[in-house]
Amino acid sequence: MAQTLFDPMSAKKFPESVTLWDRKTFTEQDPQEAFAPMIVSLLPLAFFLAFAPQATTVTTTTTTVRRDADPLVDTSANGKARVNFNAGVIKATGSGALPAPGVASNDAQARLMALGAAKADALRNLAMMVSSVQVTSETRVKNFQTESDTVETRLEAVLRNARVLREEFKDGIATVTVEMPLYGDNSVAEAVYPEILPEIPARSDWEGPREPAVALPPATIPRPLPPLAREPGLTPESDSGPFTSVIVDCRGLNIEAAMAPKLMDDAGNEVYGTVRVSADYAIAVGIVGYPRSMSEAIRSKRAGSHPLIVRATGAGDKHRFNPTIARSDAERILSANARDHFLERTSVVFLVDPLK
């Protein structure tokens, strides 16, 4: 009987020129004019949250987020929004100025109008970041939005449930920071994964896990974990397991994060990426962890107590989302997995370069 597989790369590809966003909208113009027709489905959300009338001016923040002050930063969009694939969270910041004199009836109303405009700006920046999130090596969330009204509707609902982290008011400028999950309930994965993960049939010759065996790290990290006293090296051939996971050391290769990457051998054969799990399972935790230090990798719940550590040799695609490993390491991983089933539990970690 044929196995049910998750093959993200089989998702339809679209030209990179196809985009939901009009790049001209992200300028200093008035926000009421900045929303392009191509994002019309998000207009009701933005206007509902904006208390300010037409005369209110919204000023977008341009200060780059400090890496050391915000360890969640993974990919930043001009300091306005950022995504962390390992913690599974997307954050965005927006700002709004006080309305012109005479527009508000009192100071309290003026502050509310500025905060409303800041929240609408933050949600717009969040939506822009979500749209640019990499799904596979060749597709982003925006490709699925353009192709599927269902995905667009799901994402609109997810954005509406974005959580407000902070509201600040200083020197006449309101700043609002919002957050939404990459995985789990009301997440980007919940909107996108069902489009690329097939239904698991009732009868199958392979019985995958029903409950996630791994867990995401906390969304709020006070500071980076301290370095290990002694960093573990590659797993020696003499160590035959059993193994709880595989850690692929990709440092120095500029491997980038994606929601549905693949692990290939140096002959072009797939080792991991076609995952035999339900959409609900993948939505809960994703299929790969992306720590940026060995401290995070070795201590993560996804890695478990005894990971098999191998070294990546390069990238299997021009955009550097799919790492490659030696054929001998690929055979070792597949042989160990036949006994330990860590790939089926999505217990896979790509250790990538630290932030610069």
Q: Where are the domains of the chain?
A: 8-194, 216-351
* pLDDT-derived band at 217, boundaries 50, 70, 90: low
User: What are the beta bridge partners of residue 167?
Assistant: 176
Query: In this predicted model, what pLDDT tens digit does every residue of 223-245 receive, in sequence order?
Result: 556 667 788 899 999 999 999 99
Rg for the chain, CA atoms, rounded: 22
Query: In this predicted model, what pLDDT tens digit does every residue of 178-194 receive, in sequence order?
Result: 999 999 888 999 998 88
Q: Which has more pLDDT, 197 or 41?
A: 197
Structure-derived torsion over alpha carbons of residues 61, 63, 65, 68, reported in degrees to the nearest 10: -150
pTM of the model: 0.71
H or E stretch at 265: strand 263-265
- Mean pLDDT score, 141-151: 89
Query: In this predicted model, what pLDDT tens digit does every residue of 163-180 receive, in sequence order?
Result: 999 999 988 899 999 999
DSSP letter, residue 275: B
Q: Which has more pLDDT, 122 or 84?
A: 122
Q: Which has more pLDDT, 71 or 313?
A: 313
Q: Which residues, 6 or more positions from 246, have their beta carbon under 8 angstroms from its beta carbon?
A: 272, 307, 308, 309, 310, 333, 337, 342, 343, 347, 348, 349
- 4 pLDDT exceeds 80? no
Give the whole-angstrom CA distance, residue 227 versus residue 230.
Answer: 8
* pLDDT-derived band at 52, boundaries 50, 70, 90: very low
Length of the chain: 356
Give the whole-angstrom CA distance, residue 119 versus residue 56.
Answer: 13
* pLDDT-derived band at 274, boundaries 50, 70, 90: confident
Q: How far apart are the first and last CA of the chain?
A: 49
Query: In this predicted model, what pLDDT tens digit does every residue of 58-71 receive, in sequence order?
Result: 333 333 333 334 54
